[in-house]
């Protein structure tokens, strides 16, 4: 499979997707039929979301078409040579992927070699489930089972920051709760500006340190165990 899973779309103080332009350009360089799935967008119109993504891809001499314009989104997925799934709310994204019968369509196309790019929620749904998203469950999908393009969980926007005078749980605390009840699970934590990339059998990380969490173990940098996490 060919996957580019980005933690986020915008680094602090930078323009939209600026940090990812080089890797996007390389990953999509031979793609001519790129489709975009905007379903995670809740407070932005899907037309505006498409325009925002198109503006980025135009700088790479690429064009994109959003599935929300089409009567048969699954057919668009079947004909694509690259699938982009944007960020927003993961629960809403998964709900609409399920309702529009795109779970199987996307999985089958990606398994056949079609390139998949996700960021934030779009990376969340590439994992086995969305149980390690940071998002609020503003809607209820049919299940939490996601695309399963990788054999682990993903936590985009990972941070260990704690607000001053705030006694609540850290992100690590929350992910340890998941692992306590899913002890065979693995969580790949993507800090801002980082990504995972798989091209055929080659798996790498980029943008900075990416972390692996497993039950009862210290966190590891995935660059040191990158092939093991895919097994």
**pLDDT of the residue at 166:** 78
List, for residues 81-136, the tens digit of each pLDDT value. 999 999 999 999 999 999 999 999 999 999 999 999 999 999 999 999 999 999 99
Q: What is the Cα–Cα distance from 149 to 90, expressed in whole angstroms?
A: 16
List, for residues 37-67, the tens digit of each pLDDT value. 999 999 999 999 999 999 999 999 999 999 9
**Does 69 participate in catalysis according to the annotation?**
no
Q: What is the Cα–Cα distance from 103 to 165, expressed in whole angstroms?
A: 42
**Does 120 participate in catalysis according to the annotation?**
yes
**Does 157 participate in catalysis according to the annotation?**
yes
Of the candidates 61, 157, 173, 209, the residue annotated as catalytic is: 157
List, for residues 155-205, the tens digit of each pLDDT value. 999 998 877 887 788 899 999 999 999 999 999 999 999 999 999 889 999
Q: What is the Cα–Cα distance from 75 to 54, expressed in whole angstroms?
A: 21
Domains of the chain: 2-152+194-208 (3.40.50.880)
Q: What is the Cα–Cα distance from 102 to 229, expressed in whole angstroms?
A: 26
């Amino acid at each position: 499979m060919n996957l580019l899973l980005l933690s986020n779309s915008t680094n602090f103080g930078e323009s939209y997707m600026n940090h990812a332009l080089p890797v996007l350009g390389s990953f999509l360089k031979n793609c001519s039929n790129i489709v975009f799935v905007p379903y995670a967008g809740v407070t932005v119109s899907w037309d505006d979301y498409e325009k925002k993504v198109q503006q980025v891809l135009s700088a790479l001499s690429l064009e994109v078409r959003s599935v929300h314009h089409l009567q048969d989104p699954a057919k668009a997925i079947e004909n694509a040579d690259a699938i982009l799934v944007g960020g927003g709310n993961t629960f809403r994204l998964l709900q609409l992927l399920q309702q529009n019968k795109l779970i199987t369509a996307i999985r089958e196309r990606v398994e056949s070699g079609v390139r998949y790019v996700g960021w934030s929620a779009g990376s969340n749904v590439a994992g086995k489930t969305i149980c390690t998203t940071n998002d609020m469950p503003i809607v209820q999908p049919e299940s939490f089972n996601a695309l399963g393009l990788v054999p682990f969980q993903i936590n985009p926007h990972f941070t260990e920051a704690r607000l001053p005078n705030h006694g609540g749980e850290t992100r690590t605390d929350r992910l340890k709760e998941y692992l306590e009840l899913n002890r065979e699970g693995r969580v790949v934590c993507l800090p801002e500006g980082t990504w995972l990339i798989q091209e055929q059998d080659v798996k790498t990380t980029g943008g900075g340190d990416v972390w692996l969490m497993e039950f009862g173990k210290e966190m590891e940098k995935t660059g040191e165990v990158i092939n093991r996490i895919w097994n």
